[in-house]
Structure 1
């Protein structure tokens, strides 16, 4: 039996048994009960200058192959979002190329894609509301010309320029009027980006939610939904219950998505999650279970992944991209544990060890033997003796029971 060497914060090592990968089946028809997008990351060239402040050099083969991986499980791709390191290493030129390439790839593969529209190409930090509107429109038209749906991301420039809720209503009204088709709005909380404090005109969540709902109500034909990323399940449910029937709630809550997606008697959230980039097979299998009205199986599959997601998104939350890329590397979706802007160094080895442990326990290691080998190599490079872990401590991890291939029932 293969064992995993795990590393504690005190430098001590211990061993856990390596679990087999659950035998999830890819869907044979589109997922029906929920709409789900995985917010995908980018893979840099391993030999590039992946250090802070340098332009992103993308490994397009690996980056686009990862999107095909997501589509193959029936999920959509949300591209050029914060998971792709917007405002954290992905420069404007790389962002434009990513949107163009991803949209073209989606069209060729028959996959669903939406992309982030922001104002982050502006050179100046402080600009006028008119400049914010023009910047949003420029990126919106690029996304539309590429053939992608748009997610109107929260803008740091707007957060700085807006004086009150009326300014937010004005900017969104004018930008939405220019949209050729309905877009998804995005409310990103300060855990993900402290520069967005007071977004929608208030630091009070209820007041800000009121402004958001006013924007949606006044622009029903231009808003298909909203992605909420406040890590506050109660706030999301409260907004979800007040949405007009024309708008969907896309959860961006990587701490509470299991219950939010399951929903209650008054509705459910769909998904647009960075966590699902690391959990595409699990997310797909869980939604396939909902398609069969098997809520218990949905919970059995997806429930254990939430603790893993909480570790990936632990404070400081904006470094969660490191965990997403780390899992992609462990699972064989990129050749090296590298990230643009040097963010592969944003988490400690004990933090990554806990990700390995929880991924093993929740069925998120797609190729366990490869993942174990890569993790042990990383430990060895960093001076950790993987031969001295206490094998006596190795116990079977509490992973979801693997579905036998003969019992796998595709949706």
Structure 2
């Protein structure tokens, strides 16, 4: 089989890239080792920047997000027993949208199917080859038969544990990583949200976050030890702990109920440089991971895909390699700013093992300065809604 761009991974990054390339008249094939149901079964957050929504609109996959997504004009920070609202729209003119990553993936899957584009699911043993030459190819096994896809370019959109980055020679890539000494215990419940906007809470017992999937389904998180297990956290214990970390107004508004999903996620910051290796490009989680505190993971994947799709269109339409030559620099410039912002949000909101009383006091002082300084609040808002492409 032959195509112009072989895309490894059918998550949001790979699917969005495929739709953008199709819109630009660039043939592409997606290879995914899992089934569609497995891909859709992955529970991920979904807080979308306006730029991400605009990309969904561009490929004709944004209509349901506009119907069902929840537009947020602000966000709340809770500390020292009270809550403070950051008016994102007033400070930046922009908003955020709550719309689950699973829903984004489903919309993109449906758009791809409607366009009659090729996606090969349950492709085993996927491996990119010869991407340092002018004739890259991807081998895989489908239904027990060895297959090969030849192409002009390979896009590695296969996540942190994917084969794309792992196929690069160690001498050709440099990675940067920070593992945080705690995790997030999250539950999903069929209960209305505490507030119509997100609440980020700094507390002596640890961080907490109140968010939602809809006006009938809530998602809540508490900071926990990496040694904890889900079975140590029955619903009653979770709700009790969450209440301890919220302000009284939030506690009074909180409606509890049985969890329908519960998990513990570790937090890390990770960046791989560069993001281009000959004719193979990395995008999304294959190239970088951020802690979810700043709501940047899916949005960074979308910005990578925007840069890459425009670069490939320039290559095919204008016979220019300037865009693909500059892809890694542009994508990493935005990624590192998001890594910084996510690290900063994590550092001021979580309880760290070695911070002591002075560290806790400094966090409160910084949060107090933040909510009372227009300059500081504007900086947070600009980063939260997404920096310009």
TM-score, normalised via structure 2 length:
0.29
Higher strand share: 2
Higher helix share: 1
